[in-house]
Structure 1
Amino acid sequence: MSLPVLICDDSRFARKQMANSIPAGWDVEISFAENGAEALELIKAGKGDVVFLDLNMPVMDGYQTMQIIKEQDLPCMVIVVSGDVQSQARERMLKLGALDFIRKPVDNSRLMEILRQFGLYTGEAAVKPASQDMPTSKEDRIDAYREVANVAMGRAGEKLAELFDEFIRLPVPNVNVIESNELRMAIEEIQQSEYVSAVSQGFSSVGLQGEALVIFNETSFESLINLLNYQHDSDCQELEIEALMDVSNILVGACLNALAEQLNTRFNRSHPSILGRHCDLEQMLESNVSRWTRLLATEIGYSIENHDIQFDLLLLFPSDAIDPLLSLSCGRRYERTGTY
């Protein structure tokens, strides 16, 4: 009788990638869920003796799902598969009862190691025959890029967690192809205070160029400076600038490095510059984004647990970079796994 296996991830691209990482000789019946709420229903219906569970999902995330699995003592074995690679994330899920933790993109040798360790599969490691299809619709290609951005977001979150020695809350990346005037409206929705400060850094690769913006809410600064353990004998303005630049460098650098690794490319970065401090968001963006009429915008909100600290990272690509980026993200993943 086939073993019921459930793959729970909000990305269709990630679900397919995980399904194709499962050894060809493992006799399983695979079901899929887009969030934790769907996963719980399928587990209760006997569709998930083994569950591959993502962490950052809408509706119900992996932490909430695992908590309910533990409280209700649901009959399943959970392996976490996530782009959130903070040590704290792993520790929390293991304490809730997960068997182990695999970072995205899936390493097949690591998957085999876990399956053998827990006696789930002891056969050959051969994966399923590669599909020759590639995502063709814009929706599927953006979903593929969103998964790439999700992994990059997790790597940056890991670096921030190491810097602050705190748990970093990560959302699902928000990816959209929009007009430049819509970007202002989108950012205004995430703006938590009347005024913000921001750092900008340009980057480029072969056939690609973009801009990274890190936007800090005003309420973050005092807590941020204290958490960074800066010496308070310096000028307050100098401390703010130092905090802006330090956090931005780590966040943008880690995110772009992870993005470049997945795309098999390398980004050259310009020197970061402060777009504005304690200013109105509309005024700050006027000179920076107006030169682009249409762009691929990735918005990632970071917050530090138990602290009043929030900042947003936006990765912006102009319209002439949209198709090369999406094609590169799909092609690189195809090359890594033999399928998408």
Structure 2
Amino acid sequence: MPVTSVLICDDSSLARKQLLRALPGGWNAEIEQVSDGREAIERIQQGGIELLFLDLTMEEMDGFQVLQALDAQEIRLPVIVISADIQDEAVRRVLDYGALAFLKKPVDAEQLHQLLASHRLIDPHTALAERSSDQPLPFREVFAEVVNVGMGRAAALLARVLGVYVQLPIPNVNMLEVGELQMALEDAARGEKLTAVCQGYIGSGIAGEALLIFHDSEVDDMARLMQLQRYQEMEMLLDLSSLLISACLSGIAEQIGVVFSQGHPQVLGQRASISELIHLNRQRWNKTLAVEISYSLEGHDIHFDLLLLFTEDSVGLLSRKLSYLMN
């Protein structure tokens, strides 16, 4: 029998909106939404939910923890995970934890329809027509979810290269003056010496610089993980930076309909303080739309920060590119 009561759990308003639009328009089901894993568990415990759509990367209680909690409480209901974390290991884990299926963000309406029909969660003849969703969303929230998808693409590539599972954060999106950027970077540095690799990008008038920051203690750990000799460290950092930055920008570009051209990566400072890095680049980073992504490698004491620093002039162009998602 087709299900008639559905719960969507995702901390992104845009992701929930995109999923609502992708659900079959002819599906006569009551659909509820929550933005946190704990809320999802509480609502499911109350009874009546027949299908859960679940995100993985959430702050309070992530999707993996939700699946584990459902299993521990012996709550049996079909769960479809829809996530930007497309690492092979992430897919394996959610299926091992009992999820019915895994779909990548942004969800494809036709693929979703076929999945629901194949598991008899909807009538196969249910109309695919798009549902309406007229709630406008703010730029910062929309752009954070667009970045989230790009971040996931980059992590999947990195995981394959290094043979590890990459733990994904919630990306931070803020407009920052150069002084605020310096304070944010100093907080991330925790007083340590850093090595930073910078790579410029531009596409359809949208421009900026990507900055990949490595803590020096972790550069050595990364080199050991990749079984590299000391003299190969800089080459490794440049290659790793190019891979991560290209994958993340590509994931963003695909969603906003642009193609980014990228410059050659260059080392901004080697074993330098944040103050020195900021001093060298103060004019370029006067005011910026800053996106911060902090990656870490499971089972290793290694993390590094990817910053996407869009020029102030790019914000209006990005807003226009994202208007179809915001409205």
TM score, norm. by length of structure 1? 0.91
Aligned-partner SS, 1:113: helix
For 2:16, the equivalent position in structure 1 comes to 15
For 2:319, the equivalent position in structure 1 comes to 326
Amino acid at match of 1:89: A
Trace 1:54-203 onto structure 2 (pairs within 5 A).
Answer: 54-121=55-122, 122-131=124-133, 133=134, 135=136, 140-192=138-190, 194-203=192-201
Deviation per CA, 1:100-128, whole angstroms, max 9, x where unpaired? 10100111122112112211012234233
Trace 1:41-60 onto structure 2 (pairs within 5 A).
Answer: 41-46=42-47, 48-60=49-61
Deviation per CA, 1:262-294, whole angstroms, max 9, x where unpaired? 111100111110011111012112222443432
For 1:337, the equivalent position in structure 2 comes to none
Indicate conservation of the 8 Å contact 1:156/1:250, yes or no: yes
RMSD value, Cα: 1.8
User: Post-superposition shift, 1:134?
Assistant: 7.4
For 1:306, the equivalent position in structure 2 comes to 299
Amino acid at match of 2:304: F
Indicate conservation of the 8 Å contact 2:83/2:105, yes or no: yes
Aligned residues: 325
Indicate conservation of the 8 Å contact 1:81/1:104, yes or no: yes
Q: d(CA) in 1 for partners of 2:193 and 2:128? A: 55
Indicate conservation of the 8 Å contact 2:159/2:165, yes or no: yes
Aligned-partner SS, 2:49: coil
Amino acid at match of 1:74: I
Q: d(CA) in 2 for partners of 1:250 and 1:62? A: 27
Is 88-97 or 214-223 further displaced after alignment? Answer: 214-223
Q: 5+ unaligned residues in a row in structure 2: which ranges?
A: none
Amino acid at match of 1:52: F
Aligned-partner SS, 1:259: helix
Indicate which of 247, 259, 276 corresponds to 2:252: 259
Gap change, CA 1:222 and 1:2, over 3 Å in 2: closer
Q: d(CA) in 1 for partners of 2:33 and 2:131? A: 20
Gap change, CA 1:46 and 1:330, over 3 Å in 2: farther
Q: d(CA) in 1 for partners of 2:218 and 2:290? A: 24
Indicate which of 208, 212, 215 corresponds to 1:214: 212
User: Post-superposition shift, 1:27?
Assistant: 1.8
Aligned-partner SS, 2:76: coil
Indicate conservation of the 8 Å contact 1:193/1:218, yes or no: no
Give structure 1 regions of 4+ aligned residues with deviation exceeding 6 angstroms: none
Aligned-partner SS, 2:309: strand
Amino acid at match of 2:271: H
Indicate conservation of the 8 Å contact 2:12/2:145, yes or no: yes
Amino acid at match of 2:319: L
Amino acid at match of 2:209: E
Indicate which of 260, 266, 271 corresponds to 2:264: 271
User: Post-superposition shift, 1:2?
Assistant: 6.9
User: Post-superposition shift, 1:309?
Assistant: 1.2
Gap change, CA 1:144 and 1:182, over 3 Å in 2: same
Is 14-23 or 148-157 further displaced after alignment? Answer: 14-23
Deviation per CA, 1:196-248, whole angstroms, max 9, x where unpaired? 11100000011211110000112212221122233x3xxx2x32201211110
Q: d(CA) in 2 for partners of 1:20 and 1:310? A: 36
Q: d(CA) in 2 for partners of 1:88 and 1:114? A: 21
Deviation per CA, 1:70-95, whole angstroms, max 9, x where unpaired? 11112321100000100100000000
User: Post-superposition shift, 1:24?
Assistant: 1.3
User: Post-superposition shift, 1:259?
Assistant: 1.0
How many percent identity over aligned positions?
Answer: 40
User: Post-superposition shift, 1:192?
Assistant: 4.6
Amino acid at match of 1:117: S
Aligned-partner SS, 2:174: strand
Indicate conservation of the 8 Å contact 1:298/1:316, yes or no: yes
Q: 5+ unaligned residues in a row in structure 1: which ranges?
A: 335-339
